[in-house]
Amino acid sequence: MQRIINDPNLVVEDMLEGFVKCHKDILHVSSDNPRVVVSNTAKNKPRVGIVTGGGSGHKPAFIGYCGKNMVDAVAIGEIFSSPTAKSFYDCFREVDQGMGVACLYGNYAGDNMNVKLAMELADDDDIEVKTVVANDDVASAPKTEREKRRGVAGEILMWKVGGAMAAKGASLDEVIRVSQKAIDHTRSIGVGLSSCTIPANGKPNFEIKPGTMEFGIGHHGEPGIKVEPLGTAKDMAKEMVEMVVNDLPFQNRDEVVVLVSGLGSTPVMEQYIYYNEVEKLLTEKGIRIYKSYVGNYFTSLEMNGITLSLMELDDELKECIDMDVNTMGLVQAE
């Protein structure tokens, strides 16, 4: 493993220590729980708290979206493992100001279980928690079984929208309604060109043969839906735009947010080459791009590959997307 780490068993500790030192103007570690980070603006005014959480190895996700007008507290798991119920619960306690907490997270068995347990604990404290479970990955189950689909990079748009609603002073029900709409309007798909290795394991999670690409690969190396000979950026964009656009379906004259994310070791140059093809295909379809994000927004350790997420906008979602945020992963000026 050509890696820049110390003890392979302590990568989360070491990363977190560096992260918090670097971004102390944005967030801090909870004094109750070393696996919970809290935005410095979490209690800057009375409002609904926004919580998320997930396994590590996806940086900037999840802690990179903790900050002003986005996520207030994040529960941190081991590499590719759910945070504990206790950590989710401690997040709820950190951010609740009596107006309730919106827990906006991705659809994985461990997270579902631990959020549920954490909500039972919170209930004993009279903290009201409601959830939105992201399931934007079109490759992970058929359209008719959306409840089985995984949450992937589209979660970032859900957090952006939920955080904006909370910042505007919306009630918990309103924050939940619009966050749910955000994910219902979002579809994602990934392509993998290489595997990744959990440092403590020391060998690749799965295999992608050189000269091939795997569509629909999950953020932890969950198997994709098809392996093909490695194509051009245009080939990849074409397959992926079709899969995403046909699923929603997106319509001519729709306005969308485009989010293209590298999976960890994908050079940024290549991400723009890919984005250029996506833009051409959407323009051909008469779909208008309102805003684009291109970069390493939601990664899988050192996996090589790229994900595409599209969110169909209405005026309410657009206003949320426009709101300023200040996080490590996303800075948007007023």
Q: Identify the three-state secondary structure at position 178.
A: helix
Closer to a second copy by Cβ: residue 146 or 238? 238
CB of 262 to a second copy, least distance (A): 9
Site string for a second copy, 30-59 (x = CB under 8 A): --------------------------xx-x
Closer to a second copy by Cβ: residue 94 or 277? 277
| Binding residues with a second copy: total (CB under 8 A) | 57
Burial class of residue 252, CB neighbours in 10 A (0-12, 13-18, 19+):
exposed
Q: Quick check: 286 and 142 in contact, CB under 8 A?
A: no
**Distances from the Cα of 125 to the Cαs of 93, 100, 145, in angstroms?**
9, 12, 35
Site string for a second copy, 75-94 (x = CB under 8 A): --------------------
Distance CA 317, CA 162 (A): 10
Bridge-based pairing of strands 101-106 and 49-56 is parallel
Site string for a second copy, 225-264 (x = CB under 8 A): -----x-xxx-x---------------------------x
Q: Quick check: 306 and 216 in contact, CB under 8 A?
A: no
- 220 in active site: yes
CB of 52 to a second copy, least distance (A): 18
User: Quick one: which of 32, 268, 288, 314 contacts a second copy (CB under 8 A)?
Assistant: 268
User: Quick one: which of 84, 186, 261, 266 contacts a second copy (CB under 8 A)?
Assistant: 266
Site string for a second copy, 186-225 (x = CB under 8 A): -------xx---------------x--x------------
User: Quick one: which of 90, 247, 302, 312 contacts a second copy (CB under 8 A)?
Assistant: 302
**Distances from the Cα of 101 to the Cαs of 27, 71, 95, 131, 234, in angstroms?**
18, 11, 7, 8, 42
Q: What is the full DSSP assignment across 294-311?
A: EESSS--TTB-EEEEEEE
- 185 in active site: no
- Residue from 23, 58, 185, 219 carrying the catalytic annotation: 58
Q: Verify binding: residue 3, a second copy, rule CB under 8 A.
A: yes
What residue type is 5 in one-letter code?
A: I
CB of 280 to a second copy, least distance (A): 9
What residue type is 52 in one-letter code?
A: T
The DSSP 8-state label assigned to residue 55 in this structure reads E
Closer to a second copy by Cβ: residue 59 or 181? 59
- Output the six-digit token pair for 331: 């800075």
- Output the six-digit token pair for 44: 């800057």
Site string for a second copy, 141-180 (x = CB under 8 A): ----------------------------------------
Whether the CA torsion 150, 152, 154, 158 is positive or negative: it is positive
CB of 197 to a second copy, least distance (A): 11
Q: Identify the three-state secondary structure at position 80.
A: coil
Stretch that binds a second copy, among 98-106, 150-158, 221-229, 275-283 (CB under 8 A): 275-283
User: Quick one: which of 126, 147, 269, 284 contacts a second copy (CB under 8 A)?
Assistant: 269
In sequence order, which residues have a C-beta less than 8 Å from that of residue 4 and are 6 or more positions away? none
Strand order across the 305-312 sheet: 226-229, 212-215, 186-192, 305-312, 255-262, 288-295
Catalytic residues: 58, 220
Binding residues vs a second copy (CB under 8 A):
2-7, 11, 14-19, 21-22, 56-57, 59-60, 193-194, 210, 213, 230, 232-234, 236, 264-277, 279, 292, 294, 296, 299, 301-302, 304, 306, 324, 326, 331-334
